[in-house]
């Protein structure tokens, strides 16, 4: 599970020399004997000085004994001795105990930690070039015979030569377990462990719950990791026999550095040191998409990363029962015993009985109508309370079909009353809905069955108007969350309890129809934790609505631009929001099925969930790029003034780099708590110009929002400001890609160039406009070139 092609960036745990390991008046030794000890200002180094053992303090006054890389700039910690028993101060020492073991003692000789007893006669401790800390006999004839080794007790890192293993003879396990957080090496919640039962494979655990699996070994690689390929530098080994099972990897090039970790966020990462850039790069990580989740699709389900997970017939039934407008369901594909799901809303039209070649159809009725005992359909009653009517085309006579349909139509009203009490009857104009979206997205969960299924497109539930009207209390003002150029957004609650946000297209919006279809076409294909999730849509006569997951804290702009609320966003929350937006944008540009340019990234399009996790929303302006496409041109410049890049505003050119520019503006707004648009300093510079001026003068910290207070990392703030200025540089080719942005944000020692002049508005000249116009027209100077643009959002 190492050395894969395709560079990915994710949070990298790098503990640096200046912060953790003492480097003033320190001394190094190569061997620790029974007459020596290792104190706070000493390190034990490997023969080729690849690794060193020493004390480090990641936070407060807690001290740990650990192993790290030595002669590279990002000296990551790879092993910790006393991870759950820290020293309380810097007076601790490491020595060889009376039982031939390694002992760590604190102030006054207080016992802190020790390795296993060895009873060696003349023990010595050495750190090998592999990173393995060992105890062996000084006079032993075999230098490779170890009485104890750290490789048998991994922490969060698997190094070349280490083993994830189960020793069935001794009943011992070797696994890696995450740190509690990036500054706390104590045992965390996530572990990567081999399961030797049946066909052995490796699982990622979140506490006691499995969250990811490697798949079994197929002789070349783990079956769940198709990108796993041996290279000229990396080889893999997987052994299983009656004595045990283990997995390890080895490096064929001694100058090549690679490691596998499970980080404090529950993500597996394969990290490789790139000497040319002097950085650790993430070459593989997991879980990376929804299909990596353990049991994501349930028994017999098949998960496709390019579409929604495949449903079983039982899943389809349960989904129909949860949707009060569902009237019938069937398999979308009848091959391989039946797969997928198709549901009908409203009236069933053009049903037909065939002498052969028919298909099972399941029609939904109220439980009270089919319970002979007169029960109410509560749990624990007759099985008839859960009964559906099964119409089999080959064997069931037409009379039974007609009878079933007659019963359905007679009791439809009572069905809706028993399931959706208080709901107003509303006929679904299904044909209109289907025609509207036919060329945009396959709405297979609500279309009429035609015997054909486009498996290249994901499914999207279609809600009827009555369901949404009921959920939003008939679109009441009390439920209204906001209003924009598209229309209004309402908060709602479905009958089953799920909270939703309903984006209702204004009936007078002409442009909004195209944006609506574009948003459906795009976002239904996307699944990422930093993108808002589309639950479905409603298209009936002149009503067009998008139904999203509800975001408790609404949009980012309601916090950072509000004098009272912005104090709720401390620096750590702002930094997490910045990193989350960056990861979401990286997914759009690089990791999703399509390369997507958002074109309208701004604070109001970043939504915050209950724990302030950011999610990018509003894909009405977004565009799909081809695999080899780098930029596109448009005569219709749309977007938001203040976030648009110069080349887009002036020439209509947009690319991933225009999104990067918008991200840079947003990043600086988050740090400063001020809008780029409408911000002017005394010298008539906008926010970007103001930030650029202070950065050049070495006054970058003056940009930070005063409401944050003093609880922030100076280096982290300055790094973010530099990243922001790099993103808003005037020339698109100078701006970094989002993969580089994520790397720069996640690594304290990432190499970053100095930013060049930003593309910013130096001043504004108001243009007289018709006050009755619904759009605001403004003129600004972009690097001394005057352009006029429309803010259509």
User: Any idea what the CATH number is for the domain that residue 220 is in?
Assistant: 2.90.10.10
Asked if residue 420 has pLDDT above 90, the reply is no
Asked if residue 419 has pLDDT above 50, the reply is no
Last residue of a domain, one of 404, 423, 442: 423
Q: Is residue 122 part of a domain?
A: yes
Instruction: Return the ∠ at Cα 430 (arms to 426 and 434), rounded to 5°.
Output: 145
Catalytic entry in 371, 600, 618, 659 = 600
Residues 369, 247, single domain; the answer is: no
Residues 236, 103, single domain; the answer is: yes
Residues 475, 499, single domain; the answer is: yes
Backbone angles phi, psi at 68, to 5 degrees: -145, 165
Taking all residues of the chain, what is their mean pLDDT, rounded to a whole number? 77
Instruction: Specify which of 415-424, 508-517, 771-780 reaches the highest per-range mean pLDDT.
Output: 508-517
Cβ–Cβ under 8 Å, residues 37 and 94: yes
Residues 439, 450, single domain; the answer is: yes
The alpha carbon of residue 431 and the mean position of all alpha carbons in its chain are separated, in whole angstroms, by 37
Residues 538, 567, single domain; the answer is: no
Q: Is residue 311 part of a domain?
A: yes
Q: pLDDT: is 705 or 11 the higher one?
A: 705
Q: Is residue 144 part of a domain?
A: yes
Asked if residue 413 has pLDDT above 70, the reply is no
Tell me, what's the pLDDT at 32?
94
β-pairing, 27-29 vs 42-45, is: parallel
Last residue of a domain, one of 359, 388, 423: 423
Tell me, what's the pLDDT at 681?
61
CATH number at residue 314: 3.30.200.20
Distance CA 648, CA 668 (A): 20
Report the side by side order of strands in the sheet with 42-45. Answer: 27-29, 42-45, 51-59, 62-69, 77-80
Asked if residue 792 has pLDDT above 90, the reply is no
Residues 419, 432, single domain; the answer is: no
Burial class (CB in 10 A: 0-12, 13-18, 19+), 209: exposed
Cβ–Cβ under 8 Å, residues 389 and 363: yes
Number of domains in the chain: 4
Interval 356-401: pLDDT, tens: 667 888 888 765 555 444 443 333 444 433 333 333 333 333 444 4
Distance CA 22, CA 41 (A): 6
Q: Which domain holds residue 137?
A: 27-292
Tell me, what's the pLDDT at 390?
38
Residues 283, 361, single domain; the answer is: no
Largest CA distance in the chain: 98
The alpha carbon of residue 577 and the mean position of all alpha carbons in its chain are separated, in whole angstroms, by 12
Q: pLDDT: is 601 or 278 the higher one?
A: 601
Sign of CA dihedral 118, 261, 265, 198: negative
Residues 375, 523, single domain; the answer is: no
Residues 595, 539, single domain; the answer is: no
600 is catalytic: yes
Binding site for ATP: which residues? 503
Residues 71, 127, single domain; the answer is: yes
Distance CA 305, CA 315 (A): 19
Q: Is residue 10 part of a domain?
A: no
Asked if residue 438 has pLDDT above 50, the reply is no
Span 318-329, average pLDDT: 77
Q: Is residue 563 part of a domain?
A: yes
Q: Is residue 188 part of a domain?
A: yes
Q: Is residue 7 part of a domain?
A: no
Backbone angles phi, psi at 714, to 5 degrees: -60, -45
Residues 175, 274, single domain; the answer is: yes
Binding site: which residues? 503
CATH number at residue 785: 1.10.510.10
Last residue of a domain, one of 257, 292, 327: 292
Q: Is residue 698 part of a domain?
A: yes
Tell me, what's the pLDDT at 342?
79
Span 340-347, average pLDDT: 75
Residues 178, 324, single domain; the answer is: no
- C-beta atoms surrounding 682 within 10 Å: 6
Sign of CA dihedral 755, 759, 760, 762: positive
Instruction: Specify which of 109-123, 314-328, 473-487 reaches the highest per-range mean pLDDT.
Output: 109-123
User: Residue 519 has what DSSP assignment?
Assistant: H
Interval 617-629: pLDDT, tens: 988 788 887 656 6
């Amino acid at each position: 599970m190492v050395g894969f092609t395709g560079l990915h960036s994710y949070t990298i745990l790098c503990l640096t020399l200046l912060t953790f390991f003492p480097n003033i008046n320190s001394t190094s030794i190569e061997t620790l004997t029974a007459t020596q000890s290792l104190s706070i200002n000493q390190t034990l180094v490997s023969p080729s000085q690849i690794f060193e053992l020493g004390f480090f303090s990641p936070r407060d006054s807690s001290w740990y004994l650990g192993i790290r890389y030595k002669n590279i700039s990002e000296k990551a910690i790879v092993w910790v001795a006393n991870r759950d028993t820290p020293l309380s101060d810097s007076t601790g020492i490491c020595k060889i105990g009376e039982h031939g073991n390694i002992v760590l003692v604190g102030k006054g000789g207080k016992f802190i930690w020790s390795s296993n007893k060895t009873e060696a006669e003349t023990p010595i401790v050495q750190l090998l070039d592999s990173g393995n800390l060992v105890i062996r006999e000084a006079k032993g004839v075999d230098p490779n015979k170890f009485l104890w080794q750290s490789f048998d007790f991994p922490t969060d890192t698997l190094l070349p030569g280490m083993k994830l293993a189960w020793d069935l003879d001794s009943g011992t396990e070797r696994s890696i377990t995450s740190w509690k957080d990036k500054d706390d090496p104590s045992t965390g919640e996530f572990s990567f462990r081999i399961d030797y039962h049946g066909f052995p494979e490796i699982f990622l655990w979140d506490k006691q719950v499995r969250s990811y699996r490697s798949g079994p070994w197929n002789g070349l690689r783990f079956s769940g990791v198709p990108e796993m390929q041996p290279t000229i530098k990396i080889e893999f080994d997987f052994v299983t026999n009656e004595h045990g099972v283990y997995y390890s990897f080895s490096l064929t090039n001694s100058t090549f550095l690679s490691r596998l970790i499970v980080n404090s966020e529950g993500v597996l990462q394969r990290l490789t040191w790139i000497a040319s850039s002097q950085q650790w790069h993430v070459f593989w990580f997991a879980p990376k998409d929804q299909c990596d989740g353990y049991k994501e699709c349930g028994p017999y389900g098949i998960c496709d990363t390019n579409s929604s997970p495949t449903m079983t017939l039982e899943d389809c039934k349960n989904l129909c029962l949860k949707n009060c407008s569902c009237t019938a369901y069937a398999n979308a594909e009848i091959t391989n015993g039946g797969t997928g799901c198709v549901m009908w809303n409203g009236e069933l039209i053009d049903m037909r009985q065939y002498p052969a070649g028919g298909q099972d159809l399941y029609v939904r009725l109220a439980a009270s109508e089919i319970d002979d005992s007169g029960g109410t359909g509560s749990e624990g009653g007759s099985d008839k309370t859960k009964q559906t009517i099964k119409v089999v085309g080959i064997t069931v006579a037409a009379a039974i079909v007609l009878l079933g349909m007659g019963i359905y139509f007679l009791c439809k009203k009572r069905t809706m009353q028993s399931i959706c009490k208080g709901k107003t009857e509303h006929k679904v104009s299904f044909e209109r809905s289907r025609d509207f979206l036919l060329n945009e997205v396959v709405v297979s969960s609500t279309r009429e069955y035609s015997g054909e299924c486009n498996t290249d497109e994901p499914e999207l539930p279609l809600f009827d108007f009555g369901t949404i009207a009921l959920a939003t209390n008939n679109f009441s003002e009390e439920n209204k969350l906001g209003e924009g150029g598209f229309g209004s957004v309402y908060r709602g609650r479905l009958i089953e309890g799920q909270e939703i946000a309903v984006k209702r297209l204004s009936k007078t919006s002409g442009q909004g129809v195209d944006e609506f279809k574009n948003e459906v076409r795009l976002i239904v294909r996307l699944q990422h934790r930093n993108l808002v999730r589309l639950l479905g849509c409603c298209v009936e006569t002149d009503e067009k609505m998008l139904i999203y997951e509800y975001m408790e804290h609404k949009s980012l702009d309601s916090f950072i631009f509000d004098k009272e609320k912005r104090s709720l966003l401390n620096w750590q929350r702002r930094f997490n929001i910045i990193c989350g937006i960056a990861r979401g944008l990286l997914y759009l540009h690089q990791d999703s099925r399509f390369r997507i340019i958002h074109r309208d990234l701004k604070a109001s399009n970043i939504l915050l969930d209950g724990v302030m996790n950011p999610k990018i929303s509003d894909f009405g302006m977004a565009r799909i790029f081809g695999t080899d496409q780098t930029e596109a041109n448009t005569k219709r410049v749309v977007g938001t003034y203040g976030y648009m890049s110069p080349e887009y505003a002036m020439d209509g050119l947009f690319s991933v780099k225009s999104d990067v520019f918008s991200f840079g503006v947003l990043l600086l707004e988050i740090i400063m708590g001020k809008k780029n648009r409408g911000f002017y300093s005394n010298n008539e510079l906008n926010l970007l110009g103001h930030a650029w001026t202070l950065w050049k003068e070495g006054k970058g910290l003056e940009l930070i929002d005063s409401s944050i207070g003093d609880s922030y990392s100076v280096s982290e703030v300055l790094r973010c400001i530099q990243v922001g200025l790099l993103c808003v540089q005037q020339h698109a080719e100078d701006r970094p890609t989002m993969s580089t942005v994520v790397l720069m944000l996640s690594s304290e020692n990432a190499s970053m160039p100095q930013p060049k002049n930003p593309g910013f508005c130096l001043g504004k000249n108001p243009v007289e406009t018709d006050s009755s116009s619904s759009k605001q027209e403004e003129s600004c100077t972009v690097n001394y070139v005057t352009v006029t643009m429309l803010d259509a959002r």
